[in-house]
Amino acid sequence: MFTIEHEFDATVITLIDEGHDGLQEDITINAFDDCVTLEQLHPVTEEPMIITLSMTQLRDLAAALDLPEGTYRREKAKG
């Protein structure tokens, strides 16, 4: 299950793990103009763990999801 909310400066997506053993903490994704953050509470310390991806890293991640094992470099669009 997931939710999507549009706030003033970001789109916030929350991924909710449900329906199986070994559930993980919710993940909150904040999409800003210049970066995307992923936040999840540490299950023991209850402290938030935050990862920040640049827009380039996000595009690389999206491309990597559909590629086989290997090393890649995305070419910049010409024009």
pTM above 0.95, yes or no: no
As for how many domains the chain has, the answer is 1
User: Does residue 22 sit within a domain?
Assistant: yes
pLDDT band at residue 33 under the 50/70/90 scheme: very high
User: Does residue 53 sit within a domain?
Assistant: yes
**Alpha-carbon span 13 to 24, nearest angstrom:** 16
User: Does residue 38 sit within a domain?
Assistant: yes
What mean pLDDT is reported for the chain? 92
H helix or E strand, kind and range, residue 73: none
- Structural domain including 51 reads 2-64
User: Does residue 77 sit within a domain?
Assistant: no
Asked if residue 76 has pLDDT above 80, the reply is no
User: According to DSSP H, which parts of the chain are helical?
Assistant: 55-64
User: Does residue 36 sit within a domain?
Assistant: yes
User: Does residue 59 sit within a domain?
Assistant: yes
